[in-house]
């Protein structure tokens, strides 16, 4: 029932504050005999790391992960895996001016109202830094998936920055890692680059984004009815990421404008089983995978911490204006891409394991 | 860990199939000494009941709820409340033709693939009929909220049918119960009426919808960080409803196109505590309530069961065409309104109770 | 997190009060395609039924179970199974005299102190009648075990009534169902018979008992480390039964008096894998099954409801004397035998399913 | 659903192996604004520390705890508290001889059978070293209890070593910390001292023990019905401790031999509420506290690691004899005392918090 845990059989609990000595994830339920080394996790942490490029915060964290338990001679043992990331760069003074005032759009005020105390250093527990713990847990999930369902591929990318969307006809997965935005459209990537520079330097502003995450090669039949549907768990997974305000599966909100005839994914018999004429459903029917691509999208709001002054109040109720200097991403959505990938990996692994417990992993025969 | 349960301290488990003898909800964690009678729950079931009006399925179910446990002399005792609804109208023959074939857009095929068996009668467990159990549980939640947080008001309504949206300037909560669509805009309601008649009678088609649910008067400070955020739980709650493909909090997906300056909800000190210049956040910051309206929206896909033929396959893999006769809503979104309200009520109550366990319900002082 | 649920993947929630309209169990996580009919569950309910014989309460309940969901054409579907038992014989007036007073040794006073309300009719939720729901859930578990681990045998019996113990040299499983006490020792059974008659008729008293439950043929390797150990879950399962005050695995409390040399179960290689020279451990090492008999014992305190007057207080604090007329077992331990068997079955099935999710059910090779 | 977690609202997850780099506990659900410093936790770790005295293993671990998260300026923030203990003294070579053979009475063989891999160094995850993590979590629980229920006192002690029991007439809580055995009977302590020296030096043997833990001053009305009863959770808590084979509440197993008349705790009205003539129930009725002392006992089996040879097998199935040199307690029960206290503290705090969520903490009035 831990409010800081996620998952059913594959379950992780994250801990740590932005400016504490360390943060990490306690990962439980990883199958035994999965090859696991820090480098396998580190590669994903490097993708989200601050200071990665000029478009993300200049804070410089090596974010190097240590495996403190659950691995023996390079293999998982089936016991809890403790992943720890030391906080090495903590310029607390940057945040000193918000000790007594609440930043608009931040959890400062609600944490204070709920707990009567808050770690104001860098947002404490509410900092996006928590997502490093998820990315580490996701790295473990990816290795376990590789071991038990080798065909699965998980890929995330940005489809929109501010009002600027990608051109779906130009999408190329190879392009995603060639630019600073995890953008699958080379033309859009250039446009975004210029826009973001202007936003940060001239406009002292920030902007939102939309991220899409796809899981390819997931077998049909994983998931569960009703309250642990694959889409339910994915919605929770993505909405739990800082600054996320919306989650979509397949057609998402646009499904509202479709008619039943247009929305129908017709079914045909293929060589290796059922095939579909389209994927409006995003690879999930009744909470259970169809074998098609599982497609999730989520919207990240613009960073609340901007250099432009915003009206707020202090703890004593007096009025103030807040300008957040510190080091902040003008588009926090960029770093949300590896986080979304990690959450997708955790949900897919969890349901692969759950399915074995629920059904033994046998499938109903078709054809 | 039950995949058929929802909630933390206030937790319900739904059970039952569309055409079984009965369905219901086992409701656990309702506080003691809450006045509860069947009529208090029945009023909400009546809102979602099939056959309610000419725009929803003609299947006629009284949907009358029985309280089998947890209530003594008109008050809850703190023990599990069993809510049972008998299925009285089960025309199985309507569904006979889909015994061996899979309806496109339905869970028929994925249930078969996962379980190797499915109750094909009316979709069995995957039928929208399951939502009656949620509405019943929500009725209990509403009474408990009334007892422990009397100021809270929960209201749901449709904001879009197909491509046709309401005009926000015409929104009037009084209007919602005056039309068949839970539509707060009288002009839109008329338009929808005509459109829906045409869809069903002439076009033999169905259409999607967007529902908005608002919780007003929720105290600041309920919710929790990270994996049981108020918005995370609401996203899971709404995405778990049949046919829902997207969930939004506050600005939702549109937040992607906003800048940090536009999206900031500035804070001022009011007579009774902090006030905000706007509510882009939808009443939630860092997963914890701000005291503003909590605003959730979700999209419901068009009913998959339509009279127009759609290509599919049979269990033996052979090709077929499916036309779903049966009795189906051309816009299942209409009946999703009371379901969304019920899920909101359950999440709000759960977090009111959780907060007492987490903090004792004390609040950090401001001013 | 439901406090009225038990189990991990195989999880049931019980509901209902002694004198409400019905009680039952919502059973979640039963694998699909398990043959299940009411009679398979009814046989176990009949074993614990009141009025079964002259040594248990004269209250006459048919205790007939209805399956309301989760079964289609005689097979489980993988969806929740609702088991309902109607209460047909509710002589509330028998209990009228304890409306305002608290029975010593009963939960009357603590329920009142916790909830400020209690269903005083027959003990309400705290009545041993709740165990009928467990026995029903156990009946489902037994059928699922038969399907996925056919070799498993579960047997419970009484080893002690009051101070009178069985003679282990006379134990014969065939004898268990031949007497009214589930006693494996025919000689002890006769002695108990006379003793119990005297207790009830002449001494107006009641007595405690010790029950032993054995699971034979459970494969090695199920269970889990630390907080969901097989023995941890069994301890919780048995201690949750009304009136149970102690639980033992293998040597149990007597292990304290043994030395390491005496307590060692030495290991030898047998034809089908490891064998042990003895079973002091009760078939569990480190929370995981060894493949030997899993042996659990629990003590049931004497029925608190006796005809002899006992000092107590009323709700207004005034002194009173309580004599419980009603219909009560002089040795409630007798009926605890099928309850213990049911809990054993639920725990074994749960861990068989969990193990598939944790490891895929593969085993480490020996030899 | 984590099998490595314990508790409901106050929930901790332990991680780490005996000879890994570190071990610890991720503690979730501690209320905010509780004063917490490492020294408050360290005092309890020092009680169970190996090398504490000549009767426990000579392995020398400082066992110093670090708080990595959840505490800000000396107070808890309501976010997860990570407690880490570095392993500083790891003489792996001591254990080299059991790499390929299974120690009788150890989890070596079952871990291998379940996971197909095991960290053989010092028993890995199954080592009693895991209990250090619990003691650390218990230290947090004690401080939270002090803050929200100041009257509560928790005390554990040994009542039996081997066949040698304390004399209840000589029990003196002041004595407990004056000897090496947490023994409340000074005379018994001297006897145990001589016995244990002989066991280790001359007999090369080990012996079991019984530990009793009392919680005094717990308010009436905490706990819950049926599957999260206070006694159910305590049974799970204690049975989850390494080497524990039996758990008793109040009269425990002895309740079987009592009659209803003897076992009745009669109730009287005292100045501050109900009082009882005796405490056979161990302070719990129907799973809910009565306000009397909560009394739990558990039996710890003799250490399996002894210098006397025992027959066993190797991974290849061949026969062998095992003599465990290493450094081991002749009576592991001694160090189980602070562990039992810690588990009691965690359960009591959990139910104090749960009760606020369930009922708001109000009580039914008596008198």
Which residues in D lie closer than 8 A to residue A66 (C-beta atoms)? Answer: 21
Residue B118 to residue C72, Cβ atoms within 8 A: yes
Residue B245 to residue A233, Cβ atoms within 8 A: no
> What per-residue confidence (pLDDT) applies to D164?
97
Q: Does residue D348 register a pLDDT over 90?
A: yes
> Among residues 139-158 of chain C, which lie with CB inside 8 Å of chain A?
148
Rounded CA gap, A339 and A324, in Å? Answer: 24
Of A2 and B125, the one with more pLDDT: B125
Collapsed DSSP state (helix, strand, coil) of residue A189: helix
Comparing CB atoms, the residue among D17, D28, D66 nearest residue A13 is: D28
Which residues in B lie closer than 8 A to residue A286 (C-beta atoms)? Answer: 106-107, 110-111, 126, 242
Which residues in C lie closer than 8 A to residue A225 (C-beta atoms)? Answer: 79
Residue B69 to residue C4, Cβ atoms within 8 A: no
Residue B13 to residue C23, Cβ atoms within 8 A: no
Comparing CB atoms, the residue among C114, C224, C255 nearest residue D208 is: C255
Q: Does residue B66 register a pLDDT over 80?
A: yes
**Chain C: nearest CA to A78, how far in angstroms?**
8
Mean pLDDT in residue range D198-209: 92
Looking at every residue in chain B, the average pLDDT score rounds to 92
Residue D31 to residue B79, Cβ atoms within 8 A: no
Which DSSP string corresponds to D54-75?
Answer: TTS--------EEE-SSEETTE
> Among residues 16-35 of chain C, which lie with CB inside 8 Å of chain A?
29, 31-32
Type and span of the H or E element at D164: strand D164-165
Q: Is D266 exposed, middle or buried (0-12, 13-18, 19+ CB in 10 A)?
A: middle
E-strand stretches of chain B: 5-6, 11-16, 22-28, 65-67, 71-72, 75-76, 81-86, 153-161, 164-165, 209-216, 244-249, 267-270, 273-276, 284-285, 288-289, 294-300, 310-313, 319-322
In the DSSP assignment, the letter for residue C80 is P
Which residues in A lie closer than 8 A to residue D114 (C-beta atoms)? Answer: 78
Mean pLDDT in residue range D76-94: 84
Interface ipTM = 0.95
**What is the interface size between A and B, counted as CB pairs within 8 Å?**
419
Q: How far does chain B reach from its first CA to its final CA, in angstroms?
A: 42
Which DSSP string corresponds to D302-354?
Answer: PPS--SS-EEEEBTTS-EEEE---S---S-THHHHHHHHHHHHHHHHHHHHHH
Residues A358, A363, B2, CA angle at the centre, nearest 5°? 20
> What per-residue confidence (pLDDT) applies to A308?
81
Which residues in C lie closer than 8 A to residue B118 (C-beta atoms)? Answer: 72, 77
Q: Chain C contact for D104, CB < 8 A?
A: yes
Q: Does residue D323 register a pLDDT over 90?
A: no
D190 CB-near residues (< 8 Å, 6+ apart): none
Residue C78 to residue A353, Cβ atoms within 8 A: no
- Report the percentage of chain D scoring pLDDT > 70: 93
> What per-residue confidence (pLDDT) applies to D361?
87
Q: Are C356 and A357 in contact (CB under 8 A)?
A: yes
**Chain C: nearest CA to D97, how far in angstroms?**
17
Residue D4 to residue A28, Cβ atoms within 8 A: yes
Type and span of the H or E element at C114: helix C108-115
Chain segment B191-240, per-residue pLDDT in tens? 999 999 999 889 889 999 999 999 999 999 999 888 999 999 999 999 99
CA dihedral of residues B256, A322, A242, B168 (deg, nearest 10): -40
Give the residues of chain A that fall short of pLDDT 70: 1, 50-61, 89-97, 325-328
Residue A358 to residue C79, Cβ atoms within 8 A: no
Q: Chain D contact for C86, CB < 8 A?
A: no
Least confident of A306-315, C287-296, D69-78: A306-315
CA distances from B121 to B124, B323, C30, C181, C197 (A): 5, 16, 20, 46, 54
Residue C68 to residue B16, Cβ atoms within 8 A: yes
Chain segment B235-278, per-residue pLDDT in tens? 999 999 999 999 999 999 999 999 999 998 999 999 989 999 99
Q: Does residue D244 register a pLDDT over 70?
A: yes
**Chain C: nearest CA to D42, how far in angstroms?**
23
Mean pLDDT in residue range D18-35: 96
Q: Which two tokens stand for residue A306?
A: 């901007």
Mean pLDDT in residue range D98-120: 93
Q: Is C320 exposed, middle or buried (0-12, 13-18, 19+ CB in 10 A)?
A: middle
Q: How many CA atoms lie within 13 A of C117 on its CB side?
A: 16
Name the pLDDT band for C89 (thresholds 50, 70, 90): low
Q: Which of A4, A13, A30, A134 to mutate to test the interface with D (most CBs of D within 10 A)?
A: A13
- Residue D51 has phi, psi (to 5 degrees) of 75, 5
Name the pLDDT band for B129 (thresholds 50, 70, 90): very high
Q: Which of B360, B361, B364 to mutate to test the interface with D (most CBs of D within 10 A)?
A: B360
> What per-residue confidence (pLDDT) applies to B1?
56
CA dihedral of residues A303, A308, A312, A316 (deg, nearest 10): 110
> What per-residue confidence (pLDDT) applies to A305?
78
Which residues in A lie closer than 8 A to residue C353 (C-beta atoms)? Answer: 357-358
Q: Does residue D44 register a pLDDT over 60?
A: yes
Q: Are C310 and D276 in contact (CB under 8 A)?
A: no
Comparing CB atoms, the residue among C14, C246, C266 nearest residue D246 is: C246
Which residues in D lie closer than 8 A to residue A5 (C-beta atoms)? Answer: 2, 5, 13, 28
Q: Does residue D74 register a pLDDT over 90?
A: yes
Q: Which two tokens stand for residue B314?
A: 């049979």
Name the pLDDT band for C240 (thresholds 50, 70, 90): very high
> What per-residue confidence (pLDDT) applies to D170?
97
Comparing CB atoms, the residue among A3, A79, A84 nearest residue D125 is: A79
Q: Which two tokens stand for residue C12?
A: 């049931």
> What per-residue confidence (pLDDT) applies to D163?
96
Query: With helix as H, strand as E and coil as C, how does D88-155 read?
Result: CCCCHHHHHHHCCECCCCCCHHHHHHHHCCCCCHHHHHHCHHHHHHHHHHHHHHHHHHHHHCCCCEEE
Residue C31 to residue A358, Cβ atoms within 8 A: yes
Chain segment C33-51, per-residue pLDDT in tens? 999 999 999 999 999 875 5
pTM, 2 dp: 0.96
Strand order through the sheet with B22-28: B5-6, B11-16, B22-28, B81-86, B65-67
Q: Are D194 and D162 in contact (CB under 8 A)?
A: no
Q: Are A22 and A256 in contact (CB under 8 A)?
A: no
**Chain D: nearest CA to A76, how far in angstroms?**
8
Q: Does residue D142 register a pLDDT over 80?
A: yes
Chain segment D163-183, per-residue pLDDT in tens? 999 999 999 999 999 999 999
Residue B263 to residue A304, Cβ atoms within 8 A: yes
Neighbours of B126 (CB within 10 A): 25
Tell me the H-state helices in chain A.
38-48, 108-115, 131-148, 186-201, 230-239, 260-263, 333-359
Q: Are C219 and C149 in contact (CB under 8 A)?
A: yes
> What per-residue confidence (pLDDT) applies to D61?
58
Collapsed DSSP state (helix, strand, coil) of residue D17: coil
Which DSSP string corresponds to A72-97?
Answer: ETTEE-SS-EEEEEE-----GGGGGG
Name the closest residue on chain B to residue A288, using Cα atoms. B110
Neighbours of A148 (CB within 10 A): 15
Q: Which two tokens stand for residue D367?
A: 């008198």
Q: Which residues pair with A260 in a beta bridge?
A: none
Q: Does residue C52 register a pLDDT over 90?
A: no
Residue A23 to residue D69, Cβ atoms within 8 A: yes
């Amino acid at each position: 029932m831990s409010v800081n845990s996620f998952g059913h059989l594959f379950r992780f609990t994250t801990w740590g504050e932005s400016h504490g000595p360390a943060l990490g994830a306690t990962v439980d339920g990883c199958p035994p005999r999965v090859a696991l080394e820090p480098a396998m996790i580190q590669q994903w942490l490097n993708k989200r790391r601050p200071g990665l490029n000029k478009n993300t915060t200049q804070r410089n964290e090596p974010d190097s992960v240590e495996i403190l338990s659950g691995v023996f001679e390079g293999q998982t043992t089936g016991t809890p895996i403790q992943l720890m990331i030391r906080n090495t760069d903590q310029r607390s003074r940057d945040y000193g001016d918000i000790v007594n005032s609440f930043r608009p759009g931040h959890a400062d005020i609600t944490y204070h109202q709920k707990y009567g105390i808050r770690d104001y250093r860098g947002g404490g527990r509410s900092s996006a830094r928590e997502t490093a713990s998820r990315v580490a847990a996701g790295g473990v999930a990816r290795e376990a998936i590789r071991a038990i369902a080798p065909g699965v591929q998980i890929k995330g990318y940005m489809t929109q920055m501010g009002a600027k969307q990608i051109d779906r006809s130009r999408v190329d997965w190879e392009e995603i890692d060639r630019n600073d935005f995890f953008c699958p459209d080379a033309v859009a990537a250039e446009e975004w680059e210029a826009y973001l520079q202007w936003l940060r330097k001239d406009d002292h502003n920030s902007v939102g984004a939309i991220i899409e995450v796809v899981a390819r090669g997931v077998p049909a039949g994983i998931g569960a009815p009703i309250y642990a549907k694959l889409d339910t768990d994915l919605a929770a997974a993505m909405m739990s990421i800082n600054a996320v305000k919306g989650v979509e599966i397949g057609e998402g909100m646009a499904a509202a404008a479709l008619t039943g005839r247009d929305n129908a994914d017709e079914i045909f018999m293929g060589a290796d089983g059922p095939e579909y004429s389209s994927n409006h459903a995003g690879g999930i029917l009744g909470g259970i995978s169809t074998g098609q691509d599982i497609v999730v999208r989520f919207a990240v709001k613009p960073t609340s911490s901007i250099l432009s002054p915003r009206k707020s109040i202090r703890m004593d109720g007096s009025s103030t204006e807040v300008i957040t200097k510190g080091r902040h991403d003008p588009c926090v959505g960029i770093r949300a891409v590896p986080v979304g990938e990690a959450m997708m990996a955790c949900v897919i692994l969890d349901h692969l394991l759950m399915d074995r417990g629920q059904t033994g992993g046998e499938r109903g025969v078709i054809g």
